[in-house]
A and B are shown apart, each in its own frame.
Chain A
């Protein structure tokens, strides 16, 4: 870890922001072009998890649904859970909203492929799905405003704003990576993004806390850049240790947690990584540049002493 506490972080503040901007643009680009692979929680529709006792092919399932409803359903074969027979096969079937008759016909005709069990069923109408997103966004918006107010009172207005910018960065990166990987997102995805927000805010506040402390106890002749760099050097070990603890937990969930929480844990993993580096690369760097302009500090060459090896 030694070298991490010797990097002269704030010398590269602008480069950090350029890097962050580029990654955010890539993420936004992916969100705009590929989009998120939205599950029925967001689009409305029907999601069936069917487990057949015998081996059945995706094509057979598709044909039956086509005959029963006239709909070309999206079908995905998945890992078989808790089946008694070794020949069992399991499928996720996604369709747009079905009428009761269509669904009855689908379930009845499916019996032609042999006995099966409905493992789970989700039917969501369009109105509910858009509400979920709206309500979550409203709650997040209010929470962010209150956090800025709290940080402004306890810290400084500029720290509040830059902390929130870092949060937005993390959420965009997490959503962008899921969009690139085309992982399906459902209503738990909203909860996962909230977790990312919580973690990232916590991490950023710890960095801001050190900046606040050192800002008040500046050493004689210490430039803002030196002060900010020293602050990061002092907290970077903690950021990494905490990040590693959380990542250990998440990796265990990804490897052992089964398919139900895989996407959830994956979102958290990406968000945690982004949340850890963004506290320095986005929040601290942005704050430093803003604060420097505010102080009317002359940019000039840094007067930091060369780092000791």
Chain B
């Protein structure tokens, strides 16, 4: 019997969709939303961390060029990797900006201190001549101070460095060599005897931490240009966790209200539209995961607007079907005519929105782009689920022959 087959397919779809959604909404820790959250790439506003934007400015170090910005980016990457944080993001923005994002960072000053310093290292002799600079250093390390408390930074020199250092230390025995980092004098040790072999030490009463930070800066190399900080944001992980928990709960409850509203309005078709929305939600997540979308608050707003548009697509179609039924059409032809006519409406409204989303995606920055990506994906998907998929579900249902009543759509039976 044809009706039976249709019923079977329908039941199968319901079980599949219901099962998937149930699985992901279940509160148990190893299934459910925890699993989605694990795979979700969250923006810093939702998981906490530091976001710093640096801008290159012309200075005595030279003018800002795109090559130098790239070089500066590489230096910053080195420094951050040495900090040992997980998944730092360093990217060039526009022609003179570098964006640094460090997830989970709680002390923005420490991060800022490390990445923002120009770190020009210079050894100056008592006559004011430069003996060495950062380019002569092969590797900086940390060691216990051999002659006293605290730690020292050891330098292994390369190229002409050892020779230059030996000459200088031979010439100025009994006098100080000044060691500058940027414009700060960090140490001025007296030369006791000529130092061959290309090993130098910076003493300066360092703690272990300070010594290792200095070594990191020297190893990372000097920034080729001067960078100034134009934006710095830090969100603690607790605030992030609080925001995501509350917005997810609010989103879930809002969603349930909308699903109920659809059932109240349209009964069986409303329920089918809810199933289509479930499929929409699953597909939406899959696509966003696949393109590696980073979820931020504006991004979530884009998802919500997408859901709104998907609901709207179904409301437009069902209202149209009702209209056709009221005109006296039979159930099947009413449904066909309704879908056929509403198709154009939904298409035009979605395409107009998709155009705007695409432009914002292309031109926008930061929060605007996060919003545009999710909205674009949501709009394109809802064209499929709200029209094609819902239509298929409704046709299947009608074909079962179990619901052949016009009251199905909330239209009163009319005597004809």
Contacts and interface: CB of A to CB of B under 8 A. Distances in A.
Interface residues of A, number: 69
Contacts of B351: 150
Interface string B220-252: 000000000111111110110111001101110
Interface string B249-287: 111011101100110010000000000000000000000
A249 interface: yes
Given A122-B233, A252-B254, A256-B246, A201 B348 contact: no
B246 A249 contact: no
A122 B257 contact: no
Contacts of A117: 236
Contacts of A114: none
Interface string A127-147: 110001001101110111011
A260 B250 contact: no
Contact of A191 (B241, B311, B316, B370): B370
B360 A139 contact: yes
Contact of B363 (A135, A150, A210, A245): A135
A81 B239 contact: yes
Most buried by B among A123, A190, A235, A244: A123
B291 interface: no
A82 B242 contact: yes
Contacts of A53: none
A253 interface: yes
B233 A202 contact: no
B364 interface: yes
Contacts of B208: none
Given A124-B233, A192-B298, A198-B357, 12 more contacts: A49-B239, A122-B234, A139-B363, A154-B348, A195-B371, A199-B308, A202-B349, A209-B345, A252-B257, A256-B253, A257-B247, A260-B246
12 contacts: A81-B239, A82-B241, A119-B236, A121-B234, A122-B232, A124-B230, A198-B357, A238-B312, A241-B261, A245-B308, A249-B307, A253-B250
Interface of B: 45, 53, 55, 108, 229-236, 238-239, 241-243, 246-247, 249-251, 253-255, 257-258, 261-262, 265, 297-298, 301-302, 304-305, 307-309, 311-312, 315-316, 319, 323, 341, 344-345, 348-353, 355-357, 359-360, 363-368, 370-372, 375
Interface of A: 49, 81-82, 117-125, 127-128, 132, 135-136, 138-140, 142-144, 146-147, 150-151, 154-155, 187-188, 190-192, 194-195, 197-199, 201-202, 205-206, 209-210, 213, 234-235, 237-238, 241-242, 244-246, 248-253, 255-258, 260-261, 264, 268
Q: Which 9 A-B pairs have the closest CB atoms?
A: A252-B254, A191-B298, A249-B254, A258-B246, A256-B250, A139-B363, A143-B359, A143-B356, A257-B250
